[in-house]
Chain A
Amino acid sequence: MIFMANSLKRSGNLVVSISKRCYSTTTISQQQQQQSSSAGNATVNLFTAINQALHIALETDPRAYLFGEDVGFGGVFRCTTGLADRFGKDRVFNTPLCEQGIVGFGIGLAAMGNRAIAEIQFADYIFPAFDQIVNEAAKFRYRSGNQFNCGGLTIRTPYGAVGHGGHYHSQSPEAFFCHVPGLKVVIPRSPQQAKGLLLACIRDPNPTIFFEPKWLYRLAVEEVPDHDYMLPLSTAEVIREGSDITLVGWGAQLAVMEQACADAEKDGISCELIDLKTLIPWDKETVEASVRKTGKLLVSHEAPVTGGFGAEIAASITESCFLRLEAPIARVCGLDTPFPLVFEPFYMPTKNKILDAIKTTVNY
């Protein structure tokens, strides 16, 4: 088991425990797992945190709707449990199995002043809706000269590796959408983050894609405030302070990076770890400030390295921090292959790949 509470506690008084992701032999102690549960907070997993956010979103806005494939009975990942019973089938409903229909419908609903929360069952299946997202949602406000907008649209979709998902239940397609002005792309790392960021996305006046790390749905457990709260978009967070190298990531990958940081520390390397949270428009300032301090940068994501969002970060930071950089920017990412099944442990940007890259960069 992996434990990332220490760093998270510092930034938000959180307790997060994430079960084994195949890469670590360290274990979490029982005491740590059952840590603090103060009033108004409950220790919940990530899908429950998302469920809470959806309850709040529908409760606080009578014009909020939730729809997608199989959301009526609670969703294949249980994120929408209890919502149809509570808010009725007019506001929480199944749609036909058609992603372009789901997003197109959502745009029209949002354009009429509603909060349209659309679920795409797996990010791997978002591509039939690519045209609606890229050519329609993203340009809706701009092309009308701000007469119309579909800012009430939020697309929720589970992404990333899960250990046995193969080609079509594992992909991380965030970079495709980071190339599209007009969209916001947000990825949470933990239950507490997921709730606050999802509510922020739903209420943001721009169309947003919210990628949910499906590996963490059940495995990430942390104390989450019961109340309605939002976390700021386009604001990165330093979740572990350090002085030798900056690491940037998002979503489920942060848990792996955290382990690498902990192991590097044993070798006397002090790592600073940043959760980007919002990929576009991204918080360059926080990353720049950190790289100016450490002089080294490593970016890590599950998606294939070529054309991944890590490339954008590397290019931007090279432009702005060239004279401060003491080593080439390292990218530890997925391979340039389709996401494989039995080869998944080889494909993944694992802790030791990251640790090796940290050492190489620091000793450059």
Chain B
Amino acid sequence: MAIWFRRSKDITIHFKKYNLGLLGFFTQNFKSSSFFHQFGNSSTSPTSFNGNFRIPKYILFPNSPPLFSFRRFESVEAEKQIDSEDQEHDKQALDFPGGRVTFTSHLRFLSESPEKRIHCYRILDDNGQPILGSNFRQVSKEVAVKMYNHMVTLQILDTIFYEAQRQGRISFYVTTNGEEAINIASAAALTMDDIIFPQYREPGVLLWRGFTLQEFANQCFGNKSDYGKGRQMPIHYGSKKLNYFTVSSTIATQLPQAVGAAYSLKMDKKNACAVTYFGDGGTSEGDFHAALNFAAVTEAPVIFICRNNGWAISTPTSEQFRSDGVVVKGQAYGIRSIRVDGNDTLAIYSAVCEAREMAIREHRPVLIEALTYRVGHHSTSDDSTKYRSANEIEHWKMARDPVTRYRKWIGKKGWWTDNEETELRSNVRKEIMQAIQVAEKVEKPPLMDLFTDVYDCPPPNLCEQEGLLRETVKKHPQDYPTDVPV
């Protein structure tokens, strides 16, 4: 094998000298080596693509059994020799865009995965006990209790709205169960000047910012008080006042937009960043990669928060990607990244506080991968027991619930009592029921709103279509909903 590696050194030089491509490298050097004759496919012509490309083939298809392995030929002696050659080569380097690249004579591919998975930052253990020596942002009692309040409110909001959908009162709903900590703690770590580009499972961020239960209900019922004027399905919230861009159902489209917004904040020298949320499935979209790359290149103050909840509707992460989750993708784009326990409220809070400061102060994007679990179905149109085990759901729901864990912590701090819990739950329930009853009675947006806002002013074709439609409605009123004022 020493011979082979000696040869490989020559190859490197050869390669450099003649500027050959990888294929050229193999065809030029392997056909005359004894090594090739010994292990190559004797039935193939030495100049044919397959015959000469056997080694990279093993690399290209790591799951298929290798025809032979490099490792098989390596010896301790060879390794030593390589080390010394490496040192020699270290002195020689290539000035290449991006920085100095040192040479190595060792033909070694980067591993497809690190030996160990990237650590996950956490502060509270499963029992809500702070882990000794953990490094985190202190949270005041006021903020701590407010966070808990909002997590509970979000839970109850989900429970009641989900039921309302089941009763046919609203057409659709998406719950956030299991992801309350990511929602609320990340929101608490930001300021109101930070601009949110949400996916659709972050209503807690809006709740924290002051969107009222009535406003949530108005949107889900699509009544005339819905800021979206009844044009989108339930849960597509948006609020100009609260710097929360309107939700769209498309996956990951908000990511490059967040980068553009962040660039604007940087240019205006604002003390604010853009924050965008998405799921594990969203990281497969081109927009995710576009956004990370643009953010790095434009040095935009944007925080990417991935809720890796294990499931994209029915597709598990094992069928979504083969990397060590999402966090490792940041580095490939030159983005500072962290993996956080998404069910640890304090860890999320600390990580987002820190990320925000880095993003704004240093003009850089930050990627946060929050490990969590989608305890509910994807939406009310989904039955997740068809593709995942009830035990798995139960385990996350019972043993790993972020709200319970956080409740233990504030309880131990003496900041929260059982009486307060009972009172909170009962009050929130009443408020939400009330909000639903009110929203249900508010009339739908007027027919005019079908035609406005396509452009800043309706063009002639829309005016003409509105006129024709009104005539048709007059003629066939039975075909149209009675609760939409014409």
Cα A234 to Cα B461 with chains together (Å):
11
B-chain residues with CB within 8 Å of residue A205 when the two chains form the complex: 456
Q: Do B257 and A101 touch across chains, with their CB atoms under 8 A apart?
A: no
- B176 CB-CB contact with A under 8 Å: no
User: How many chain B residues touch the partner (CB < 8 A)?
Assistant: 48
- B452 CB-CB contact with A under 8 Å: yes
Instruction: Give B349 Cβ to nearest chain A Cβ, in Å.
Output: 26
- A7 CB-CB contact with B under 8 Å: no
Q: Do A144 and B246 touch across chains, with their CB atoms under 8 A apart?
A: yes
A-chain residues with CB within 8 Å of residue B456 when the two chains form the complex: 141, 149, 151, 205-206
Q: Do A135 and B260 touch across chains, with their CB atoms under 8 A apart?
A: no
The stretch among A109-117, A298-306, A340-348 that forms the contact with chain B is A109-117
B-chain residues with CB within 8 Å of residue A220 when the two chains form the complex: none
Closest to A95 in B: B294
- B76 CB-CB contact with A under 8 Å: no
Q: Do A136 and B259 touch across chains, with their CB atoms under 8 A apart?
A: no
B-chain residues with CB within 8 Å of residue A104 when the two chains form the complex: 253, 255-257, 259-260, 287, 290-291, 294
Cα A146 to Cα B227 with chains together (Å):
8
Q: Do A281 and B455 touch across chains, with their CB atoms under 8 A apart?
A: yes
Contact code string A97-128 (vs B, CB < 8 Å = 1, else 0): 01011011111111111101000000000001
B-chain residues with CB within 8 Å of residue A270 when the two chains form the complex: none
Instruction: Give B400 Cβ to nearest chain A Cβ, in Å.
Output: 34
B-chain residues with CB within 8 Å of residue A151 when the two chains form the complex: 456
Cα A285 to Cα B459 with chains together (Å):
12
B-chain residues with CB within 8 Å of residue A110 when the two chains form the complex: 260
The stretch among B46-54, B233-241, B323-331, B476-484 that forms the contact with chain A is B233-241
Instruction: Give A119 Cβ to nearest chain B Cβ, in Å.
Output: 15
A-chain residues with CB within 8 Å of residue B107 when the two chains form the complex: none
A-chain residues with CB within 8 Å of residue B259 when the two chains form the complex: 101, 104-105, 108
Contact code string B280-303 (vs A, CB < 8 Å = 1, else 0): 000000110011011001100000
User: How many chain A residues touch the partner (CB < 8 A)?
Assistant: 46
- B228 CB-CB contact with A under 8 Å: yes
Interface residue from B195, B255, B452, B460 paired with A146 (Cβ < 8 Å):
B452
Q: Do B294 and A105 touch across chains, with their CB atoms under 8 A apart?
A: yes
Closest to B249 in A: A135
Q: Do B454 and A105 touch across chains, with their CB atoms under 8 A apart?
A: no
Q: Do B248 and A143 touch across chains, with their CB atoms under 8 A apart?
A: yes
B-chain residues with CB within 8 Å of residue A78 when the two chains form the complex: none
- B273 CB-CB contact with A under 8 Å: no
Closest to A106 in B: B260
- B267 CB-CB contact with A under 8 Å: yes
Given A145-B229, A206-B455, A284-B460, also A111-B248 (CB < 8 A): no
B-chain residues with CB within 8 Å of residue A107 when the two chains form the complex: 256-257, 260
Given A98-B293, A100-B286, A136-B248, also A108-B228 (CB < 8 A): no
Instruction: Give A85 Cβ to nearest chain B Cβ, in Å.
Output: 18
Q: Do B256 and A105 touch across chains, with their CB atoms under 8 A apart?
A: yes
Identify which of B265, B290, B291, B293 gathers the most chain A CB atoms within 10 Å of its CB: B290
- A68 CB-CB contact with B under 8 Å: no
- B263 CB-CB contact with A under 8 Å: yes
Q: Do B232 and A143 touch across chains, with their CB atoms under 8 A apart?
A: yes
A-chain residues with CB within 8 Å of residue B239 when the two chains form the complex: 147
- A176 CB-CB contact with B under 8 Å: no
New A-B pairs, 13, CB < 8 Å, besides A96-B294, A135-B250, A143-B248: A98-B294, A101-B290, A131-B250, A135-B248, A136-B253, A139-B248, A141-B456, A143-B232, A144-B227, A147-B240, A181-B454, A281-B460, A285-B460
Q: Which A residues have a C-beta under 8 Å from some C-beta of B?
A: 90, 93, 95-96, 98, 100-101, 103-114, 116, 128, 131-132, 135-136, 139-149, 151, 181-182, 184, 205-206, 234, 281, 284-285
